[in-house]
Amino acid sequence: MNPTLHPSSTSGAAPEPGTQQVPQAADLMSPLHPTVGAHHPLREAADHIAQSDEAFTVVVHRREVVGILTAEDVLTAVRADPAGWQAQPCASMMTLPQTRIPAHAAVTEVLRQYREHGIRPLVVEEEGTPVGVLRPHEVRLWGQEHGYLPKEAPSTEDPSPGQDRPEAGAR
């Protein structure tokens, strides 16, 4: 089920217009890393993704950002070509068109972009130059905190920090 990406009446009172400062994309963005070359093999991108805290890597060609390759993009390649995915160039698996957003765009505009183009990391640009990556996680947290997205119920599958995990086989 896709979350509703607008002020929510189910998670408390939605913010009144003008009562809060809506951050810009630049306020929530992360640096443009990790990076991988567009013509480098997907195996390299998979290694970058596995070794970082991010579920994506920024794809560059001649020092220019050309897109973002997500863990899901890599998994799609693995499923499509289990024997040969590792040698495919990174550029072949990027989801296109790559959506970019201006650094000064309000996070509410980011939510609109997600509705129209799907939820994935976005390249943040300032005067046409990529300056960062906006991760869906930060946008979701902001949206939940400010009533633009419903708050998720705590998971019953993964205990909260400090709770014991059930014994294997126990229910």
Nearest residue to 133 (alpha-carbon basis) of 30, 23, 55: 30
Which domains, ranges and CATH numbers included, belong to the chain? 25-145 (3.10.580.10)
Contact 70, 55 (CB under 8 A): yes
Contact 42, 77 (CB under 8 A): yes
Q: Report pTM.
A: 0.70
Model pLDDT for residues 2-29, shown as the tens digit of each residue: 332 333 333 334 445 445 688 999 999 9
Model pLDDT for residues 70-104, shown as the tens digit of each residue: 999 999 999 999 999 999 999 999 876 677 899 99
Q: How confident is the model at residue 133 (pLDDT cuts 50, 70, 90)?
A: very high
CA dihedral 141, 145, 148, 150 (to 10 degrees): 80
